[in-house]
A and B are shown apart, each in its own frame.
Chain A
């Protein structure tokens, strides 16, 4: 079955899912998180999995989209789509600056530099007035051509659309000259150069596409949640989470990031909402008042990052190509 068909089928299922599940806001909210993380990781994967350039600072583009959009809406009265376009422009500028610095570097230096750039963006947003400083930005009122932005549905479909676009771009690139070239860069940069590949050009191309997609997701997030601050949209943790999602699913595969998101986001949700702890108590396995019960109640909610850490370590040691990597032939 052709990959395009698979994307279409899954997109179709995802599209009708909210209607079928009775539009429970909680469920849709979780699905939005899943879709967003899947899209973020897929976008990252274009640069990281295919070109082999692991950006450890992708949150910078997410935040750029988020902040630019909200600033454009609240200060300059743009509509959300206009804000989104502005966000893409800002993200691309950051991407070009980053690319010109980091793409000359190899190995360790590249990853570290990408973090440094992201941190500079974060600290700038934290310290400037017009970005709201530590308070962040709160969006009071927003509308878009009669679409009800108080409902979650537009954002569900928005995230789904970006995911489909991201997968589509990946699929197209894979069998085109650009895709081949990016993979050559990933495998061996010197060999790639000797075969006529302009390393800088193609790396920047991948970065720009990746940054633009990430920025759109940031814009969607900002208008969805109506509130952003640096710890929500520019944190190193977000950058890491994006990478982990791709790694666990399978870096450099088409569906790896999505698989990773489908596994990790609900897991985090389950831990965060203390479902496990409550279930244990409900079934009498653990007494609510016991030490263990109290420990679960207070702490399991915070444990999802710990679990992420454990999963990462296990994954790198035993499953470095991720889940889909097991099935992967060469691509």
Chain B
């Protein structure tokens, strides 16, 4: 029997009277590339925030690596092996690119030397080696996204939560990121993607869950999802969920 690495179990999240996420359940297996899609306001980022420890869930359980992680702080979640990126990139602006990635590396080592090594390695992986000494704040958006990726990879996560990592990137940049992701999966990590770009999603995901207005609309393999009439309707008709 295959153990699920991540199990979302009837998770609900309310903000006062506003229901952001309602009774969502799904499971992610090891080494899967998992897609979480849906129109704007569907609750994807909220769900990510709950999973990664930034929001407490209103009800339900989140089980990662056989542990219930609902009550954990974000840094504790990271130490369990789950790392996330941000939809609106958060470069540590006045630190250099290398220093940014070192911050990630420090979660698995205490020595500055070692952190530097790991950081250089990740910069090489994503192709940012030439920018190592540049202030992170000075990078273009595409490079900042790569930096976010390098930074979380330095934490050597079992699972990566990527929030619209391809957002704002052109075709070439998107392809590069997708190649890096495939490489990361090949090395043993599991990836959960929030993504808007349907082409990227269908190109790389093994399995997709579709959210709409906080509820699970559909789930299945990419080919099934793209042909699902409810999903198509949600994207074409439901774009006004601000």
Interface residues of A (CB under 8 A from B): 175-177, 180-181, 183-184, 187-188, 190-199, 329-331
A191's partner among B86, B96, B102, B111 (CB-CB below 8 A) is B86
Q: Could you say which residues of chain B place their CB within 8 Å of the CB of A197?
A: 75, 103, 107
Q: Could you say which residues of chain B place their CB within 8 Å of the CB of A329?
A: 135
Decide if B95 touches A183 in the complex (CB within 8 Å). yes
Decide if A175 touches B152 in the complex (CB within 8 Å). no
A198's partner among B73, B86, B96, B135 (CB-CB below 8 A) is B73
Q: Could you say which residues of chain A place their CB within 8 Å of the CB of B90?
A: 188, 190-191
From B14-22, B37-45, B77-85, B178-186, the one touching the partner chain is B77-85
B115's partner among A177, A187, A196 (CB-CB below 8 A) is A177
Cβ of B213 under 8 Å from chain A: no
Taken together as a complex, chains A and B put the C-alpha atoms of A187 and B103 apart, in Å, by 12
Identify 12 residue pairs between A and B in the complex whose beta-carbon atoms are under 8 Å apart, listed by A's number.
Answer: A177-B112, A183-B92, A190-B90, A193-B73, A193-B75, A193-B78, A194-B75, A195-B107, A195-B151, A196-B75, A197-B75, A331-B94
Taken together as a complex, chains A and B put the C-alpha atoms of A180 and B76 apart, in Å, by 18
Distance between B46 CB and nearest chain A CB, rounded to angstroms? 14
A330's partner among B78, B94, B152, B155 (CB-CB below 8 A) is B94
Decide if B92 touches A188 in the complex (CB within 8 Å). yes
Cβ of B99 under 8 Å from chain A: yes
Cβ of B212 under 8 Å from chain A: no
Given contacts A180-B106, A330-B95, contact A194 B112 (CB under 8 A): no
Distance between B223 CB and nearest chain A CB, rounded to angstroms? 33
Q: Which residue of A lies closest to B86 (CB)?
A: A191
Distance between B113 CB and nearest chain A CB, rounded to angstroms? 10
Taken together as a complex, chains A and B put the C-alpha atoms of A330 and B53 apart, in Å, by 30
Cβ of B74 under 8 Å from chain A: yes
Top 4 nearest A-B pairs by Cβ distance?
Answer: A196-B107, A196-B78, A187-B92, A191-B90
Cβ of B110 under 8 Å from chain A: yes
Taken together as a complex, chains A and B put the C-alpha atoms of A80 and B76 apart, in Å, by 43
Cβ of B220 under 8 Å from chain A: no
B110's partner among A177, A188, A330 (CB-CB below 8 A) is A177
Taken together as a complex, chains A and B put the C-alpha atoms of A192 and B54 apart, in Å, by 12
Decide if B92 touches A184 in the complex (CB within 8 Å). yes
Q: Could you say which residues of chain A place their CB within 8 Å of the CB of B103?
A: 180-181, 184, 192, 195, 197
Distance between A320 CB and nearest chain B CB, rounded to angstroms? 13
Q: A187-B95, A194-B84, A196-B107 are in contact. List 12 more A-B contacts (CB 8 A).
A: A176-B112, A180-B112, A190-B86, A190-B90, A193-B78, A194-B86, A195-B75, A195-B78, A195-B104, A195-B155, A196-B78, A330-B95
Q: Please encode chain B, from 102 to 130, with 1 for each CB lying within 8 Å of some chain A CB and 0 for all others.
A: 11101100111001000000000000000
Cβ of B52 under 8 Å from chain A: yes
B74's partner among A177, A187, A193 (CB-CB below 8 A) is A193
Decide if A195 touches B83 in the complex (CB within 8 Å). yes
Decide if A194 touches B92 in the complex (CB within 8 Å). no
Given contacts A194-B83, A195-B78, A196-B78, contact A175 B92 (CB under 8 A): no
Q: Could you say which residues of chain A place their CB within 8 Å of the CB of B76?
A: 198
Cβ of B93 under 8 Å from chain A: yes
Taken together as a complex, chains A and B put the C-alpha atoms of A94 and B224 apart, in Å, by 61
Taken together as a complex, chains A and B put the C-alpha atoms of A194 and B53 apart, in Å, by 9
Given contacts A195-B151, A198-B75, A330-B95, contact A180 B102 (CB under 8 A): yes
Most buried by B among A180, A188, A198: A180
Decide if B104 touches A175 in the complex (CB within 8 Å). no
Decide if B99 touches A180 in the complex (CB within 8 Å). yes
Taken together as a complex, chains A and B put the C-alpha atoms of A196 and B152 apart, in Å, by 10
Taken together as a complex, chains A and B put the C-alpha atoms of A191 and B95 apart, in Å, by 13
Decide if A194 touches B94 in the complex (CB within 8 Å). no
Q: Please encode chain B, from 33 to 63, with 1 for each CB lying within 8 Å of some chain A CB and 0 for all others.
A: 0000000000000000000111000000000
Taken together as a complex, chains A and B put the C-alpha atoms of A188 and B144 apart, in Å, by 15
Distance between B179 CB and nearest chain A CB, rounded to angstroms? 24
Most buried by A among B84, B92, B110, B112: B92
Q: Could you say which residues of chain B place their CB within 8 Å of the CB of A191?
A: 86, 90, 92
Distance between A30 CB and nearest chain B CB, rounded to angstroms? 35
Given contacts A177-B106, A180-B106, A190-B90, contact A195 B99 (CB under 8 A): no
Q: Could you say which residues of chain B place their CB within 8 Å of the CB of A190?
A: 54, 74, 86, 90
Taken together as a complex, chains A and B put the C-alpha atoms of A329 and B74 apart, in Å, by 31
Q: Could you say which residues of chain B place their CB within 8 Å of the CB of A184?
A: 92, 95, 103
Q: Which residue of A lies closest to B93 (CB)?
A: A187
Most buried by A among B52, B95, B96: B95
Decide if A195 touches B86 in the complex (CB within 8 Å). no
Q: Could you say which residues of chain A place their CB within 8 Å of the CB of B111?
A: 177
Q: Which residue of B lies closest to A184 (CB)?
A: B103
Given contacts A194-B52, A194-B83, contact A181 B92 (CB under 8 A): no
Distance between A67 CB and nearest chain B CB, rounded to angstroms? 36
Q: Could you say which residues of chain B place their CB within 8 Å of the CB of A196?
A: 75, 78-79, 104, 106-107, 155
Decide if A330 touches B52 in the complex (CB within 8 Å). no
Decide if B152 touches A195 in the complex (CB within 8 Å). yes
Taken together as a complex, chains A and B put the C-alpha atoms of A194 and B92 apart, in Å, by 12
Q: Could you say which residues of chain B place their CB within 8 Å of the CB of A187?
A: 92-95
